[in-house]
Chains A and B, each alone.
Chain A
Amino acid sequence: VQLVESGGGVVQPGGSLRLSCTASGFTFNSFGMHWVRQAPGKGLESVSFISYDGRNEKYVDSVKGRFTISRDNYKNTMYLQMNSLKPEDTALYYCAKDADAGAGWDNWGRGTLVTVSS
């Protein structure tokens, strides 16, 4: 199993970024997927979830209305469109795979760094 994030970078407050998570080594369209972030030197925060078929999405309150999660099961890729970025969104963004529903996340990528700064 491999998860590879991309798309991070430095962006000004109010700007946008689109993160991608490309998966391999498992049946991508059978598993829910997550974005989780970790601010520098801080703990872990769930950001967003998408079900295996893309029909169910969830967001932490702090990103609702600004971030949109999606997936393309033909391309084995998940996305996070991040708009109206704020300095407090600065973090390492990981994608993670459900082990099973409600059973933890058994595979993680290495993360992609998002820095929101003027």
Chain B
Amino acid sequence: DIQVTQSPSFLSASVGDRVTITCRASQGVSSFFAWYQQKPDIAPKLLISGASILQSGVPSRFSGSGSGTEFTLTITSLQPEDFATYYCQQLHTYPFTFGPGTKVDIK
């Protein structure tokens, strides 16, 4: 299986901060990579597909970049509704493994 690591596992930030989360895949996955946001007791929400394609309705402060083995999710100006757990996922080879998650909390 392709392993996906994610850092940091926890991030404390303030409203307005720029936040960056990084994921690494154990082997190249091209651009078959996605990012999700999950809030407590709610199913994950797809934010970005194809490593950098923003889903319809997702605010433009979210962006994704990378290809191959290293990927980044950036939130340019953190808003109160962005405090959540973020997961990355490779979709190159089944099982489509997820990173362990990054919890973004209020400083």
Contacts and interface: CB of A to CB of B under 8 A. Distances in A.
Interface of B is mostly: loop
Contact of A104 (B43, B49, B94, B97): B49
A16 B50 CA distance: 37
Nearest to B44: A108
Nearest to B97: A46
Nearest to A47: B95
Nearest to A95: B43
Contact of A106 (B32, B46, B87): B46
A45 B1 CA distance: 12
Given A99-B49, A106-B46, A111-B43, A61 B34 contact: no
Q: Give the residue among B43, B55, B87, B99 with the most A Cβ atoms within 10 A.
A: B43
B34 A103 contact: yes
A94 B91 contact: no
B55 A106 contact: yes
Nearest to A57: B94
Nearest to B94: A58
Nearest to A110: B43
18 contacts: A43-B99, A44-B87, A44-B89, A44-B101, A45-B95, A46-B98, A61-B95, A94-B43, A94-B44, A99-B46, A102-B92, A103-B53, A103-B91, A104-B46, A104-B49, A104-B89, A105-B46, A108-B45
Interface of B: 1, 32, 34, 36, 43-46, 48-50, 53, 55, 87, 89, 91-92, 94-101
Interface of A: 34, 43-46, 49, 58-61, 94, 99-100, 102-106, 108-111
